[in-house]
């Protein structure tokens, strides 16, 4: 048997080996993408502009609720102390513009 007769067998074996490597690399890539998605999701990263907008809207809504609650409490304190909201705010180092 000459080396030229071994070539088709060697070529076929090489192709099989390369296909196996490609399959393994594709699986590694899928796993890496899945892990990256899990890490980004767990870290609070946002994937699209629409998600950024929705997150900002939610954060603004939460801020407004907290601000309204704080102002309501300041109003109660002002009533109890028979003072104005502005005076109570200034006692805590705030103004109505804050």
Round to whole Å and give the CA distance between 88 and 33: 54
pLDDT computed for residue 46 by the predictor: 63
pLDDT computed for residue 92 by the predictor: 86
pLDDT computed for residue 88 by the predictor: 92
What is the domain partition of the chain in residue ranges?
A: 1-45, 47-98
pLDDT computed for residue 36 by the predictor: 86
pLDDT computed for residue 30 by the predictor: 94
pTM > 0.85: no
Q: What is the DSSP string of 23-88?
A: HHHHHHHHHHHHHHHHHHHHTT---SHHHHHHHHHHHHHHHHHHHHHHHHHHHHHHHHTT--HHHH
**Mean pLDDT per segment of 10 residues, for the chain of length 98 residues?**
57 87 93 87 74 92 95 94 93 83
């Amino acid at each position: 048997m000459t080396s030229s007769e071994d070539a088709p067998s060697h070529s076929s074996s090489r192709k099989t080996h390369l296909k196996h490597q490609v399959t393994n690399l594709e699986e590694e890539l899928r796993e890496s993408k899945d892990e990256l998605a899990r890490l980004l999701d767990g870290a609070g990263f946002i994937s699209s502009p629409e998600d950024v907008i929705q997150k900002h809207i939610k954060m603004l809504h939460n801020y407004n609720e907290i601000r309204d609650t704080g102002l309501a409490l300041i109003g109660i304190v002002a009533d109890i102390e028979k003072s104005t909201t502005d005076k109570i705010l200034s006692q805590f180092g705030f103004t109505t513009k804050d």
